[in-house]
Amino acid sequence: MRLPSFPTLIRTIYTISNTTTSRFFANAPASQKAIAPFTRGTVLKSMPTIPFLGSLFTTSAKDMTDYPVQKTDDEWRAVLNKEQFRILRTKGTEAPFTGAYDKHSPAAGVYTCAACSAPLYRATHKFKSGCGWPAYFDSIPGAVVRHTDRTFGMARTEIVCANCGGHLGHVFKGEGYPTPTDERHCVNSISLTFKDEEPSGAEAKEIGR
């Protein structure tokens, strides 16, 4: 009996754990398979918490009352679609290679929080990692908050919007990418929106320009 390939196995685990239907890596375009040599480890570390296993572990999360923008779950549901709410407010993860900004490579502009529109990353922070999610080597100063996430039986660094606490993804360090910080902010596309022009005036001061 032939065992499934590693990418197929990872995609299958994601599909089963989130009760969603998504394409298997075996059916993905060849361009999605031509990723960096270290992508296997990258994808594995970046995978979402599996719900039925995640319930067995605890998460060290920042108190949601610490953020400037405060809304009840019902208020967030009124302004976010179902998938945005799942990821931004309940710390879900989109399937790899499916996000709108995975291969998005603008020369300029700003990525903002999909929940509160706070500026998070500049286009110049983005780089190609091949991990299946948008990757940034740095964020706008003060825009992102980090804390330890101990779900799935491991310690990872979760990143959230400093303005509303919306879940963005996780940050990984020391993977060997040729970037100024040697960090990879692995962010869900659904957590972001993109603006072609950088903010000016008062907005620029707020993001540390």
Question: Residues with catalytic annotation?
Answer: 186
Q: Which residue, 37, 52, 51, 49, is CA-closest to 6?
A: 37
- The Cα 189–Cα 132 span in angstroms is 10
Q: Which residue, 23, 18, 20, 19, is CA-closest to 8?
A: 23
5 phi and psi, to 5 degrees?
A: -70, 160
Whether residue 185 contacts residue 142, with contact meaning beta carbons closer than 8 Å, is answered with: no
Single-letter code of the amino acid located at 92: G
Whether residue 128 contacts residue 105, with contact meaning beta carbons closer than 8 Å, is answered with: yes
Write the DSSP symbol of residue 96: T
Cα within 13 Å of Cα(166), Cβ side: 31
